Amino acid sequence: MATTVGTDLSRDRISNLADSTLVTILSRLCMDEAARCSILSSRWRHLFPSTLLNFRAFTRSGRNVVKAVTSILAAYPDEPVLSLRTGMLFFRPQDKAAVDVWLRDLSNRGIEELSLWFGFDEKRRPIPESLFACSSLRRLHVINGTFPDTTEAAAASLARLTKIELSDVRISQNSINSLLSQCTVLEHLTIKFTGRLDSLRLRSRSLKVLNSTGDFEKLVIDDAPNLERVVDKLMNQRKVHIEVVYAPKLEFLGYLGMSNEIGIGDTIFKGEIMRVETLMPRIKTLAVEMSYMKEGYTTWFMQLLRLFPHLETLYIKRDSSYMVEFTAPGSWEMRRPIPCILNHLEKVVFEVFRGHKWEMEMAKFFHRRSDFLKTMEFHCMDDKSKEDYGGPPSELWVRKQKKLLCLDGRAAEDALFQFFKRPLAENHHEHCDDERYQRDYYRDMYDV
């Protein structure tokens, strides 16, 4: 019996794993670690080229990535590469043409996913035009670069792209228009901090999601029959003018605020002019930034809600430029019926809740008026104490807020109040459908 146990303990369990499992393990290691592992045995050395199928170009130190990628691609010229994702890239003078060489090489290897992260010690390194040779690309992600000028003919070579993510990437308005018109299966477009553009005009029959940071004076949703979500946390702060001409499937829109001029058919929100005629019944989720120190903010808000008669979920973000408790005068009396409040609204989320007067009055308004309200979430933040500023408030404070909100005469008798120990995550709307994010979402909730 002892001999059997000893033999079992000494067995090389890793070597007994299938080749596919070992390749998966190697693929998840940094390049330098995977290279060291491949020296251990001839079998591991034989498996290393297979890791290039999903090539994770990272090193433990973060340096020498450019040199390592160039060397590995040259050493295994016949291996297919479906995905190349780099860590932060730092270039030596002799590496000037490295990315151009990679792209020309990858264009012949069936590359489908490309993620390039240029180091921030450089000023938005130009992306080589050899990108257009990668006609098999389906997903493109670039951080801190400059996109090449893109004609419609050039964009047509990237027609298989389904997802484009550009962050801190300079790109011209014409290049964006070319990509939208020629990438006919593009479903997801992210453009963040791309530099100020005059306008972004969405004409895409395939696009489903736009994720942006208000880097344009005007957003015109001109012809987007499959667009479902427009997520832009800075749209209000940058006073973007918004026009919706044709987007029959749009279900999420945000963030809207008093600084936005809005035109939807015959509906106009422009300064003190608020005329609601053309409605958007497909919108199920709305995100709003409240400028609670501006006179008339309650009137603006109630008029805005009339635009979305079938609204089910509402996110409330406080104007980040206001850190004080002062609230402009405003009435929460509903002078005219608001269809979504009376018939559809199920969930209200206060993304940052400090227990200020306007927040309490707004929460009471929903609690008293919403017949279908099921849940109100309060993502709490302490702003009373200099020592604990920004941290989670005490349970005693939370119990007090809950008691103040639980008043008689409410329409939604069974509505749940859920208090969380931190503000809503900045990237919530980008990851809210992710299973892991959903699993961890309620871990920071108060037990009150």
Please give the full DSSP string across 317-374, using - where no structure is assigned. EE-TT--S----------SS--HHHHHT--EEEEEEE---HHHHHHHHHHHHH-TT--
Give the pLDDT mean for 128-156.
96
Q: Strand 163-167 and strand 139-143: pairing?
A: parallel
Percent of the chain exceeding pLDDT 70 equals: 84
| Element at 301 (helix H, strand E) | helix 297-306
Top-ranked range on mean pLDDT: pick from 30-34, 51-55, 99-103: 99-103
Backbone angles phi, psi at 274, to 5 degrees: -135, 100
What is the rounded distance in angstroms from the CA atom of residue 315 to the CA atom of residue 79? 48
Helix (H/G/I), strand (E/B), else coil: 264: strand
Q: Using the predicted structure, report yes or no on whether residue 221 has a pLDDT greater than 90.
A: yes
- Average model confidence (pLDDT) for the chain? 87
pLDDT tens digit string along 286-298? 999 998 889 999 9
CB atoms under 10 Å from CB of 352, counted, come to 17
How does residue 96 score in pLDDT terms, banded at 50, 70 and 90?
confident
Return contacts of 39-44, CB within 8 angstroms, 24+ apart.
41/15, 43/15
The 3 state secondary structure assigned to 390-443 is: CCCCCHHHHHHHHHHHCCCCCCCCCCEEEEECCCCCCCHHHHCCCHHHHHHHHH
Check whether the bond before 441 is cis (ω within 30° of 0): no
What is the rounded distance in angstroms from the CA atom of residue 55 to the CA atom of residue 69? 9
Q: What is the pLDDT of residue 448?
A: 84
pTM: 0.88
Report which of 290, 287, 304, 376 is spatially closest to residue 340, judged by C-alpha positions: 304
How does residue 271 score in pLDDT terms, banded at 50, 70 and 90?
confident
pLDDT tens digit string along 168-211? 999 999 999 999 999 999 999 999 999 888 999 999 999 999 99
Q: Higher-confidence residue: 324 or 257? A: 257
What sign has the CA pseudo-torsion 389, 395, 400, 402?
positive
